[in-house]
Amino acid sequence: MIYFDNSATTIPDERVIETFNKTCVNYPGNVNSLHSLGIKSKELEKYATDKIKKLLNLSSEEVIYTSGATEANNTVLKGICSRYRERGNHIIVSPLEHSSIIETCNYLERKGFIIDYVKVKDDGLIDIDDLKRLINDKTILVSISYVDSELGIRQKIKDIKKIVDDYPKCYLHVDGTQAIGKIEIDFNDMDFFSMSGHKIFGMKGIGLLIKKKNIVIDNLIHGGKSSSVYRGGTPPLPLITSLMRALELIIPNIKDNYRHVEELNKILVDGLKKYDKVHINSTDRSIPYIINFSIENIKPETFIHAMEEKEIYISTRSACSTSDYSKAIYAVYGDDKIASSSIRISLCYKNTLEEVKKFTEVFGEIYSKLMLK
Ligand code: PMP
């Protein structure tokens, strides 16, 4: 099997599963129980949280465990809107955002908030002049993905933060789900950051919302005592330790992994460019982990299933997208055909040169076959 759908989810690392299993067996107590089993669990939770903070170089930030990035995104958007409604009712996002941002914005719009979509340039970068034009005294939140899930465009978050900083009542949220473990992140550049464990060889069902300690938001989930006042419910200790392990395995190796994936990306892109009906949609601002392309006159599903028959797994676009048409790709290319025909290869550091060579070979066979039809 060749698994090139790592932006949809990664295959959990054995070492992460081991940590999960050991925590289940050895730490059965509820973190908030007063007896010794509870105290033992609480100590482990503190150890894991401290370790996560250290790995991510967090000091003035608070870590809130969530079920994943969707919950983290919902928590920030709804939490800010509920808390700061009197300050303003304006939010700015980009057309490259994941459905967990877009759908939440649609909901908020129905509740009376005004959502503006900042323009992106030809290379996929946020148009800073448009952001300056849109932001105003009523803007309470700007939410931008560090790296989007379809084209893999890496945004210039520092430049965005500079604009937001001129508006003290406005916060910057960064959806870092496709960025964590792939690029270095400076948490001083943002007020909130969302991520998910399953994109970094962790378990499904755990994510983080990282929040500047001094910012107060309203809760999304009310309930019993947890590890954070912002999210009720019994802390899922095995998921928390497994997230710590996943981060521990990936964060120190970001640079080496990036170089390796860059090498794989070059071979793949050079291979794809040989075919005249292939259009590479990723731009020079895309990170090497994501290669988005279209094949003229070929339905992406047809191509993906043909690859699947050879045990090669890629995807049409984001696995969580709510339609076949990509608003993200349309925003960059302004072309309906490209927006409805994109195919995504998403790599991870565990992919190999052999896999890439095999992919290129099989791609050629399938391309020729489909073109003859
Ligand atoms: N944001 C981005 C950019 C994503 O790629 C994803 C997952 N595809 C999410 C949010 C949602 O993550 P989760 O599946 O953990 O809820």
Indicate which atom in ligand 1 lies nearest the CA of residue 198.
Answer: 15
Which candidate in 81, 105, 320, 348 is catalytic? 320
3-class secondary structure per residue, 210-236: EEECCCCCCCCECCCCCCECCECCCCC
Domain range annotation of the chain: 2-9+254-371, 14-251
183: alpha, beta or left, given left = phi > 0 and alpha = psi -120 to 50? beta
pLDDT tens by residue, 42-68: 999 999 999 999 999 999 899 999 999
**Fold classified for 14-251:** Aspartate Aminotransferase; domain 2 (3.40.640)
* CA–centroid distance, residue 268 to ligand 1 (Å): 25
Catalytic status, residue 348: no
Ligand 1 atom 5: residue of nearest CA: 149
Nearest to 55 by CA among 204, 184, 171, 173: 184
Q: What is the pLDDT of residue 321?
A: 56
Q: What is the pLDDT of residue 371?
A: 83
* CA–centroid distance, residue 130 to ligand 1 (Å): 26
Q: What is the pLDDT of residue 309?
A: 96
- Binding-site residues, ligand 1, Cβ < 6 A: 68-70, 98, 100, 145, 149, 175, 177-178, 196, 207, 318, 320
Mutation choice for ligand 1 from 71, 73, 98, 201, CB with most ligand atoms inside 8 A: 98
Kind plus residue range of the DSSP H or E element containing 344 = strand 342-346
Mutation choice for ligand 1 from 182, 292, 320, 327, CB with most ligand atoms inside 8 A: 320
CATH architecture for residues 2-9+254-371? Alpha-Beta Complex (3.90)
Q: How many angstroms separate the first and last alpha carbons of the chain?
A: 27
Angle between the N-to-C axes of helices 300-309 and 353-372, in degrees from 0 to 180, rounded to the nearest 10: 120
Q: What is the pLDDT of residue 107?
A: 98
Report DSSP state, residue 187.
Answer: G
* DSSP conformation letters of 55-80: HTT-SSEEEEEESSHHHHHHHHHHHH
**What's the rounded Cα separation, in Å, for the pair 317 and 277?**
19
Q: Which residues of the chain have pLDDT under 50?
A: none
Mutation choice for ligand 1 from 178, 206, 316, 322, CB with most ligand atoms inside 8 A: 178
